[in-house]
A and B are shown apart, each in its own frame.
Chain A
């Protein structure tokens, strides 16, 4: 049937995608290309924007902040997400679905609402500082916002679901009989964890971690609100160059570096780990 119907009905199908292709070309590909072009043409042709970016201590600090925060966020996220995903995969269904609902709720709650909550919680007179003082752990309120501590807490909060969900998928696919075999072979719980469960979950940890790292590198809202101007990160710097300083050359150059790093890390992801369908 499909032999007779297919050529007439389906054609090539490319035409159907044309409106969307044109939309993306006009308002995504061309604008991004033009922006990158401005990095080597403004204010005059040449690579001087990149030289400034790499040469100056101010921008070096921005790059350091960006990679440092992304690294810490990834590390903390992995350390929390692994036990959580592990527990979610095996705990009684009732509890797992409650925790799962909370994860989805936090993931879908408005980003600004979540960041606002952390700004209030972490401020000098906020709940966290007052609780710690009431418990006698500290005498003076800690500076938790307008620095990288605040950014890290806020970002871990946002990235956790993106680490837990893929890890959960990986752990659910491991056959429990393999862990039973490890136990009968004489492996204690610790030995089974480090010699069997962790190595089997490693691809998921690496691929989820890479995803969180890449997303953290280009994040704008949370660093801007919780980090303050003294602790700028890359995305914020791009915005500042373009909006406040109207320096399109520098903005374009920084954007190009971010683009290359992002695409490079995604290429690693695609090369070494199977592409996974989005978990939403």
Chain B
């Protein structure tokens, strides 16, 4: 394999007793939109700060085109960044904020003017040059921050939850802008968020962070269809987990047995395991089908309906397995069962073998 464009090589950061990131390893292609997704405290922001040079790693290296950047101070890294908090310089106008990176690079006046104009056009804020930041909305401020981060054509742009302070509608609007700007400029973007929808909407690839480690890297559909761990399955999309144990393992597939002896067969198994180990069955609710008869190949379970809630486009059933585990099942509006299902009905949930996953429990 050729040298990757940006390589994060075994980054580890320890604050006193706390390990913030532990051996983070990741390669990013030029022009790629890579998102770090994870809960707060998972190490995604720490990794970004190390890239920006705000913190030094305890171990590991970061290279761009094979050259380490760690010994370069922040102001010489030529990296752009948009922060979670509003970080426009409050004493400078919008135009001067965007011009700031060019002024400290001692660029000529006509060049500065032309670039500021172009950058503000890119974020659709032409004509706002003389406005003061305090007189702008949060969304506008973040767009100015984006212009300021891009005006000097940095090859890499870091974004640290830039939209978390905005309301949902505005957030979606700016997400769309960010996608467009990514396509227009071709800049490599590293984007940190804890919002899975935002990650799926924006990214080429997503790295899922948990407890200082990367759990899985992949495109949205890959992560959704093939989560490598329980954590990823839980974090991306809705899913139901049913705890049991491995009844038998053959290659990549396993049969699971539950508390009352019910078994399901031929479930794709993630990680290695042997018969008798604790494991769990993961199902996506929208890929579960409700039927009066059990399905073929053991890809089904009997359930008892406990409650129904009509939610417009679907009816959500609260159901219980014979051994007492709770489960929710969606019936799309117009499903033949939706109209005449009742509390206490005994039915079967069925799925295609590829839609279920088995995870060995650590």
Task: Report A's interface with B, CB cutoff 8 A.
Answer: 175, 177-178, 180-189, 191-192, 195-196, 199-200, 202
A187 to B87 Cα, complex, angstroms: 15
**A195 close to B104 (CB less than 8 A):** yes
Write out the residue numbers on chain A whose beta carbons fall within 8 Å of the beta carbon of B104.
185-188, 191, 195
Question: Which B residues between 62 and 107 are near A, CB-CB below 8 angstroms?
Answer: 73-81, 83-85, 87, 89-91, 100-101, 103-105
Inter-chain contact A196/B89, CB cutoff 8 Å: yes
Chain B's nearest CB lies how many Å from the CB of A160? 26
Find out whether the CB atom of A178 lies under 8 angstroms from the CB atom of B87.
yes
Determine if B101 and A186 form an interchain contact, defined as CB atoms under 8 angstroms apart: yes
| 29 pairs of residues in contact across A and B, judged by CB atoms under 8 Å | A175-B85, A177-B87, A178-B87, A180-B52, A180-B83, A181-B89, A182-B100, A183-B75, A184-B52, A184-B74, A184-B77, A184-B79, A184-B80, A184-B81, A184-B149, A185-B104, A185-B149, A185-B152, A186-B75, A186-B78, A186-B101, A187-B100, A187-B101, A187-B104, A188-B75, A191-B104, A196-B89, A199-B89, A200-B89
Chain A residue with minimal CB distance to B100?
A185
Contact B74 A195 (CB under 8 A): no
B333 at interface, CB cutoff 8 A: no
B54 at the interface (CB under 8 A from A): yes
CB of B89 within 8 A of CB of A178, answer yes
Question: What is the CA–CA distance of A191 and B84 in the complex, to the nearest angstrom?
Answer: 24
Taking the complex as formed, is B115 at the interface, i.e. its CB lies under 8 A from any CB of chain A?
no
Instruction: Check B54 against A180 for contact (C-beta < 8 Å).
Output: yes
Complex CA–CA separation, A191 to B152 (angstroms): 17
Within the complex, the shortest CB–CB distance from B119 to chain A, in Å, comes to: 12
User: A175-B85, A187-B104, A199-B91 in contact; A180/B74 too (CB < 8 A)?
Assistant: yes
CA separation between A192 and B76, bound complex, in Å?
A: 13
B357 within 8 A of A: no
Closest to B81 in A: A184
Contact indicator A177/B85 (Cβ below 8 Å): yes
Q: Which of A182, A185, A195, A199 has the most CB of B within 10 A?
A: A185
Q: Given the complex of chains A and B, what is the CA–CA distance between A182 and B90 in angstroms?
A: 12
Contacts A187-B75, A200-B91; is A181 near B152 (CB within 8 Å)?
Answer: no
Q: What is the bound-complex CA distance between A72 and B85, given in angstroms?
A: 40
Instruction: Report how far A175 CA is from B141 CA in the complex, Å.
Output: 16
**Which B residues lie at the A interface, using CB under 8 A?**
52-54, 73-81, 83-85, 87, 89-91, 100-101, 103-105, 145, 148-149, 152, 158
CA distance A185 to B103 in the complex (A): 10
User: Across the interface, which residues of B come within 8 angstroms of A189, CB to CB?
Assistant: 75
Contacts of A175 in B (CB 8 A): 85, 87
Contacts of A188 in B (CB 8 A): 75, 104
**B residues less than 8 Å from A184 (CB atoms):** 52-53, 74-75, 77, 79-81, 149, 158
Other A-B pairs, 6, CB within 8 Å; known A183-B53, A188-B104, A191-B104: A180-B52, A180-B54, A181-B83, A183-B73, A185-B148, A195-B100
Closest-CB distance, B166 to chain A (whole angstroms): 17
In the bound complex, do residue A200 and residue B90 qualify as a contact, i.e. CB atoms below 8 Å apart? Answer: yes
Report A-chain residues with C-beta under 8 Å of the C-beta of B145.
181
Residue from the list B53, B77, B87, B91 in contact with A181, Cβ < 8 A? B87
Cα–Cα, bound, A187→B145 (Å):
16
Which residue of the partner chain, among B77, B89, B105, contacts A182 with CB atoms under 8 Å?
B89
Cα distance A184–B79 when bound, in Å?
A: 6
Q: Establish whether residues B101 and A185, one from each chain, have CB atoms under 8 Å apart when the complex forms.
A: yes
Enumerate chain A residues within 8 angstroms of B77, measured Cβ to Cβ: 184
Cα(A26)–Cα(B80), bound, Å:
66
* A181 & B75 in contact (Cβ 8 Å cutoff): no
Taken together as a complex, chains A and B put the C-alpha atoms of A199 and B96 apart, in Å, by 14
Nearest-neighbour CB distance to chain B for A70, whole angstroms, equals: 28
**Chain B residues within 8 Å of A192, by CB:** 75
- A186 with B105: CB separation less than 8 A: yes
Q: Of the candidates B75, B80, B83, which one forms a contact with A177 in the assembled complex, judged by CB atoms under 8 Å apart?
A: B83
Could you tell me if B89 and A186 are in contact, using CB atoms closer than 8 angstroms?
A: no
Tell me, in angstroms, the Cα distance from A189 to B78 when the chains sit together.
15
In the assembly, what is the distance between CA of A182 and CA of B73, in Å? Answer: 12
Task: Identify which of A181, A183, A191, A199 gathers the most chain B CB atoms within 10 Å of its CB.
Answer: A181
How many Å lie between the Cα of A183 and that of B84 in the bound state? 16
Q: Which A residue's beta carbon lies closest to that of B145? A: A181
A181 and B81 contact, CB distance less than 8 A: yes
CA distance A181 to B104 in the complex (A): 13
Residues of A near B100 (CB, < 8 A) are: 182, 185, 187, 195
In the assembled complex, which residues on chain A have CB atoms less than 8 Å from the CB atom of B74?
Answer: 180, 183-184
Chain B contacts for A181, CB-based, 8 A: 81, 83, 87, 89, 145, 148
Residues of A within 8 A of B78 (CB): 186
Chain B's closest residue to A179 (CB) is: B87
